[in-house]
Structure 1
Amino acid sequence: MSKSNQVIRPSQLITTFGPGSIVETPSGPVVLKSMDEIFNLIGRQPDEFEIVDGRLSKSTLDDARICRIPANAEIGDPTDTWIYPADGFPYWALCAQHPGHQVLYGSDEGCPDCRSFNPWERRQKRGREAIRFVTACEAGHLDEVPWHALVHGSRRCGTKHYLWHGGGRALRLVKIECPKCKTSVNFGNAYGRQWTCTGRQPEHGPRPNQSGSACTRPATIVQRGSANLRMAELVTALTILDMPERLHDVLGAKSFLSRLDVLREADLLDHDAVLKQAKSAKIASDDVDYLARVPWSEILLALEQLLGLQPNSPEAVREAELKRLREAAVSGAPIAVKDEPLDSPPLFEVKRSDVRSIIGPTGQMTLRVTPISRLRMVMAQTGYRRLNPETGHIVSTSFTGKGGITWYPGVELFGEGVFIDLKDAPLPVAGSRWPLWQNRYMAGDSASLLNHPAHVWWHSLSHRLLWALSVDSGYSSAAIRERVYVQLKNDNVVSSGLLLYTVQPGGDGTMGGLISLVNRFERVLERALQDVDTCSNDPLCEEAPRSGADGVACYSCLFASETSCEHRNRGLDRLLLTENLP
């Protein structure tokens, strides 16, 4: 018998799936339950799987904490055992055992013409034949297609199944007929209609009581595999701290760190006090032994960073990252500490001798290219939207654990990257596109940098470099991610830069395919800017802003994979980059 569960990496549950998402399995599609269900199922607490990142928790998550998705190996279960609870969804199915036999059914009895199966076989068959259509609304609700209302309206006929006629090229060729009263409806017309939303969020169970919880937003019929059916809302933070990874994980545990903060305020903090509090906080004995081996000077430096003033907004986190990246480009990282233990790698590593300055192809700018041989990225999924990435309501993926603590699902990733900034000269301001974006930025939400021309310039350059780096690095363009930095003061650019990185779960990170290209970055930059002024979709691409598009960009010239672009391919303009080539 083939397996009925689907193997998913913990990082996929954060970046792609998560509570409320539909996952295709060998036994049919299922919808993933809320996060608290998994910990109830395995009988563990989320603090056992905590990812420590004080900056992200304080600046973006309102002091909530982050936990990773447990893997089978961590809890001692075989790899073929399912540990994430899910419900079969959608319930309705389309039976097509042979040509001319197409029955839409939704009862536990299964297809009326295929009732020779036992109950277990009927459930398996229904999962394999699950209909590919569901309803969703922008408020985040998801439910079955109201097939009875679709065919009969408010009238009830009593039938449990329908006949599906036609199909193939278009939904307008599909007719759904009631076998009892012979009423039929064109499915193409029904697909384009708006329907009453039931207010259901299947990750929390069956649909709510209709007496007062129905949603006021209209629902539409969509395909269950549609990319816009569930769009994850992610927040990320780059860890740039001068301490080994293990020391960060041990000292950063929230309950332990709060005890040390009290001792620091009372001026009672020393090495012996740290060890005593570690034992009192029930820190693992091997971690206590590790703290005993670490020199007090290094523990003190780590505590100064962990207990220091944390950024209180996402913008402050970005500014702190940009400042530290530029400092590392000048001085390297981490800061050398006497007698540093060698049994734990650093969280952030830059070798100053490998930093290069490269004159751009036009000679107008000098780019500083900084290879980052090790970095740590924490990513948390705060929620999701349905149908519209702009106006859709964000449904939170948070859950409450023991002691009333709020948790978000997240993942800890390690890898490498390349930081690029301008060494001396400011960004040039030329051409017709720069003032156009400047006016758009001034007329919009000033809290968002997406439409600032400096951000558009770096963002557009980023996407060209993503493609060029993938040619020689060994990573696909979908595996390389971006992080664009622009810091303003009085609407003037103070500092800016771009981080291109690739990460993966686990402590070993990646294999150096990106940083090895720094020595020949001139060729990478030349390839990235080659033919940037043209596109295979021209003149349509070049004239797109005239018809309402944000900028001159399309899938043939600038758009990147959803796993790479942190702004869903918004705020891009090929002509702005062409008019201001480095």
Structure 2
Amino acid sequence: MPDTAATPLADSNDTLDPLGDADKGLVKNRAKVGSARPSSLLYTYGPGAIMDLPSFSVMPAGLDDWEPIWRRREVVPTILEPRLLNVVRMHLGPQVDALRPFPWQPKRGSLSTEGSDLGLPARVFPQWFRCTGCDYLGPLPRFTYSNTHPFRPDLAQFTHKPCPGRGGRGRREGAPAVPAPHLLTCTNGHLDEFPYALWVHRGRKCPNAENPDLKMRDANVGKSVGATIICQSCNATRGMAEAQGAQGRLKLPQTCRGRHPHLGAFFPDCPAQPALIMVGASNLWFPSTQSIIVMPRSDAEQKEALADHLRVELGIEQIRQFADQIPVIRALAGARSIDITGVTDEDISAAVADVLAPPESEEAREERRANWDPIELLIPEWRYLQKPALFPGQQNDMGLMVTEMSRGTELHPRIKRVVGVNRMKRVNAVLGFTRLDEMDRVNDVASRLVELTCNGKPSWVPATEDRGEGIFLQLDLDAVAQWERRVEASAIWNGHREAHRRNFARRFSETAAAINPDTRLPGPRYWLVHTLSHILIREMAMYSGYGAASLTERIYAWREAPGREAAAGLLLCTTASDSEGTLGGLVALSEPEKLQSIVLSAVRRASRCSSDPVCAQRTPSDPEDFLHGAACHTCCFASETSCEKANRFLDRRFLLDLPTANGPAVPGFFGSYGR
């Protein structure tokens, strides 16, 4: 990962050992072992995830271990965005006072050393390794770590010395070791090493040795699937295939030790039953993140941002000490590089009062969290985009610049508005993660959200700022409402609803009973806007200069409800977290003639699929539980980095009139447009 704008993974403090928990008291190694982009650390390899390196795997540590790294800077950078911070506080508690970027600093030149003392702390995990030379299976202290080349972190590895080799062929220089692939996890997010010694001896100790040597041998072709564990002392053997499936789970330990490797701690008395999981499994780590598009702030939000800035930079105790001395607060703020130019004494007094105000009661916060809907983050963005009169007076320091575009004369009349997003900024924050089951919303079964700190009350959370560009399209709201009512009465929609109930129960397995699946099924208008978004992503990738995986969607599609108006629109954008923006190739497509041509071409492509008529007539029926209709990899599916719903809730029949195998056809929103 040679990207110069990446965040290094390094161990940089006295409380965290890069070799994990197994070598306390030994000489510590501070070498850099790899790098990753901020976006991947947020969505793919955040705290608690397992990150594959060329020769072994590491787990980014919890936020407690980040603190000694940040203390190397007099001023810790923060991302000021009150709207997102308020949501984080609602979920994690009022003690959260900041959003922080990852500990990284850009270099002035290829040979400069700025930021070399920063990095993301990580510990080796799993800590059981298998020798590739002799199949020896053992804990990390039985292997030798080396990382001697200062500019080649990819050469870091563990070796088995001395390695006898297979069949008596010795390897005195040692053989490389690789992580053992089996782990134990539970629905409460705990993760532990697999107990190989107990497994091979069927829950008992070896009769011939206290700590017997083990070997892990791969099954030969034609024999049982998976590896076999062999005890060198008593010759006991047992295949790992036995541990798989529902029956295999009954043979595993029935109590969870409550281990959180990213925190280096155990939390006993976990009632969940452990399950076998592989190191590279897709359900090993599901991040719980929230993101917003930064909009120009209202006066109230500006005051709230000032209060957040004072709280982070000055601290509550210092503010309390000088609360009635505004000139002193001004001086302290100036010393901490807080820009208060043009801020009145009354505004500062209000910000101080906000900092010192008593926090919301825990009961009120819990009630607000239980009733929270992620749509609440989208409503301010939708409302701003409905007011073109505000666009000329937009505040560019917020990172947003939008332009109301003319509609092409040949653009379908049901696409009512086009807005070019010349510049935009998106802020993303990670609140925690889950294992085995992904939570549909971050407030679903909140007790399952794995904490990022040992005490479960972080004072800050990691966040990133992405800058880029995009195009916003708005559909005719009245036409959408009429179309939606017709679709909801159709047999196709009933099939989707029943499939979603089956899928929800299976996908969330042990935690599905706590949630009504019908409250998690997006309405037909979401399917409509989502499908339109996907076909446009595929088409715009051919004209914008960006790959399809670089384009992302933000869907605004909900019915009118108390406190919010109806919405039906989409924002297609491309952003980068390690640059000042993008190149303008996407927003250029909002020009009337270009856009109407792209939309027409996208719809024409969507009207036909090489898998038709199978694709065009696909409707789930019991026991099927897939969450799409007339959609597949050929016509609609997009990259996982582009889709906010993992290619679920898509159906071309909601866009266009397509043939139906059984029953009446569902009306396409755009009819036979493009044919």
Counterpart-to-counterpart distance in 2, 1:439 and 1:509: 40
Alignment of 1:91-490 (within 5 A): 91-97=127-133, 101-106=134-139, 108-110=141-143, 115-116=161-162, 128-157=177-206, 158=209, 159-167=211-219, 172=225, 174-192=227-245, 193-194=248-249, 195-196=252-253, 197-208=256-267, 213-241=268-296, 251=306, 253-255=308-310, 277-282=329-334, 284=336, 287=339, 291=341, 314-327=374-387, 330-331=388-389, 333-335=391-393, 345-352=397-404, 354-356=405-407, 359-360=410-411, 363=412, 365-390=414-439, 394-399=448-453, 406-423=459-476, 425-427=478-480, 428-429=483-484, 430=486, 432=490, 435-436=493-494, 448=519, 450-489=521-560
- Over residues 70-112 of structure 1, what are the superposed CA-to-partner deviations in whole Å (9 max), with x where a residue is unaligned? 2044999656666222211111112122xxx32222262349x
What 5-or-longer segments of structure 2 have no aligned partner? 1-30, 145-158, 164-170, 315-324, 356-367, 502-514, 657-666, 671-675
**Cα gap change, 1:91 to 1:504, in 2 (>3 Å):** same
> Given the alignment, which residue of 613, 624, 635 partners 1:557?
635
Task: Give the structure 2 partner of residue 521 of structure 1.
Answer: 595
Residue 580 (1) aligns with residue 654 (2): no
Task: Give the structure 2 partner of residue 57 of structure 1.
Answer: 85
**Cα gap change, 1:445 to 1:364, in 2 (>3 Å):** farther
Task: Give the structure 1 partner of residue 36 of structure 2.
Answer: 8
**Cα gap change, 1:467 to 1:230, in 2 (>3 Å):** same
Deviation for aligned residue 1:423: 4.9
Task: Give the structure 2 partner of residue 43 of structure 1.
Answer: 71
Counterpart-to-counterpart distance in 1, 2:517 and 2:278: 36
Deviation for aligned residue 1:29: 0.7
**Cα gap change, 1:275 to 1:225, in 2 (>3 Å):** farther
**Cα gap change, 1:53 to 1:107, in 2 (>3 Å):** closer
- Over residues 546-568 of structure 1, what are the superposed CA-to-partner deviations in whole Å (9 max), with x where a residue is unaligned? 22223314434333323222223
**Cα gap change, 1:25 to 1:258, in 2 (>3 Å):** closer
**Contact 2:628–2:650 (CA under 8 A) maintained in structure 1:** yes
**Cα gap change, 1:366 to 1:215, in 2 (>3 Å):** same
**Contact 1:162–1:178 (CA under 8 A) maintained in structure 2:** yes
**Contact 2:415–2:473 (CA under 8 A) maintained in structure 1:** no
SS at match of 1:40: helix
State the identity %: 24
Of stretches 381-390 and 568-577 in structure 1, the one that deviates more from structure 2 is 568-577
**Contact 1:94–1:129 (CA under 8 A) maintained in structure 2:** yes
Counterpart-to-counterpart distance in 1, 2:573 and 2:417: 16
Counterpart-to-counterpart distance in 1, 2:125 and 2:75: 31
Counterpart-to-counterpart distance in 2, 1:178 and 1:257: 56
After superposition, the CA RMSD in angstroms is: 4.2
**Cα gap change, 1:114 to 1:481, in 2 (>3 Å):** closer
Counterpart-to-counterpart distance in 2, 1:440 and 1:357: 40
Residue 569 (1) aligns with residue 651 (2): no
Counterpart-to-counterpart distance in 2, 1:59 and 1:229: 25
Counterpart-to-counterpart distance in 1, 2:610 and 2:327: 64
Deviation for aligned residue 1:397: 4.4
**Cα gap change, 1:347 to 1:146, in 2 (>3 Å):** same
Residue 532 (1) aligns with residue 586 (2): no
Task: Give the structure 1 partner of residue 506 of structure 2.
Answer: none
**Cα gap change, 1:566 to 1:7, in 2 (>3 Å):** same
**Contact 2:102–2:462 (CA under 8 A) maintained in structure 1:** yes
**Contact 2:295–2:398 (CA under 8 A) maintained in structure 1:** no
- Over residues 252-272 of structure 1, what are the superposed CA-to-partner deviations in whole Å (9 max), with x where a residue is unaligned? 74327999xxxxxxxxxxxxx
SS at match of 1:545: coil
- Over residues 104-158 of structure 1, what are the superposed CA-to-partner deviations in whole Å (9 max), with x where a residue is unaligned? 22262349x95338xxxx9x97984212232222221111111112211221113
SS at match of 1:408: strand
Q: Which residue identity does 1:105 align to in structure 2? A: G
**Cα gap change, 1:173 to 1:50, in 2 (>3 Å):** closer
Counterpart-to-counterpart distance in 2, 1:323 and 1:6: 43
Deviation for aligned residue 1:182: 1.4
**Contact 1:49–1:69 (CA under 8 A) maintained in structure 2:** no
Deviation for aligned residue 1:6: 0.6
Task: Give the structure 2 partner of residue 266 of structure 1.
Answer: none
Of stretches 213-222 and 468-477 in structure 1, the one that deviates more from structure 2 is 213-222
**Cα gap change, 1:114 to 1:31, in 2 (>3 Å):** closer
The normalised TM-score by structure 2 is 0.68
**Cα gap change, 1:576 to 1:411, in 2 (>3 Å):** same
Counterpart-to-counterpart distance in 1, 2:313 and 2:668: 50
- Over residues 492-531 of structure 1, what are the superposed CA-to-partner deviations in whole Å (9 max), with x where a residue is unaligned? 9733211111111256211111101112112221232234
The normalised TM-score by structure 1 is 0.77
**Cα gap change, 1:40 to 1:461, in 2 (>3 Å):** same
Deviation for aligned residue 1:389: 1.7
SS at match of 1:48: coil
Task: Give the structure 2 partner of residue 545 of structure 1.
Answer: 620
SS at match of 2:232: coil
**Cα gap change, 1:4 to 1:114, in 2 (>3 Å):** same
Counterpart-to-counterpart distance in 2, 1:128 and 1:200: 24
Counterpart-to-counterpart distance in 1, 2:607 and 2:64: 51
> Given the alignment, which residue of 499, 503, 514 partners 2:575?
503
Counterpart-to-counterpart distance in 2, 1:580 and 1:371: 27
**Contact 1:42–1:83 (CA under 8 A) maintained in structure 2:** no
- Over residues 170-205 of structure 1, what are the superposed CA-to-partner deviations in whole Å (9 max), with x where a residue is unaligned? 862532221221111122222332133322110111
Counterpart-to-counterpart distance in 1, 2:264 and 2:429: 24
**Contact 1:139–1:394 (CA under 8 A) maintained in structure 2:** yes
Residue 67 (1) aligns with residue 100 (2): yes
**Cα gap change, 1:252 to 1:416, in 2 (>3 Å):** farther
Deviation for aligned residue 1:580: 1.9
**Contact 1:37–1:85 (CA under 8 A) maintained in structure 2:** yes
**Contact 1:400–1:407 (CA under 8 A) maintained in structure 2:** no
Counterpart-to-counterpart distance in 2, 1:319 and 1:61: 19
What 5-or-longer segments of structure 1 have no aligned partner? 260-272, 338-343
Counterpart-to-counterpart distance in 2, 1:531 and 1:225: 36
Deviation for aligned residue 1:538: 5.2
SS at match of 1:204: coil
**Cα gap change, 1:438 to 1:61, in 2 (>3 Å):** farther
**Cα gap change, 1:25 to 1:435, in 2 (>3 Å):** closer
Counterpart-to-counterpart distance in 1, 2:531 and 2:425: 25
Deviation for aligned residue 1:51: 1.1
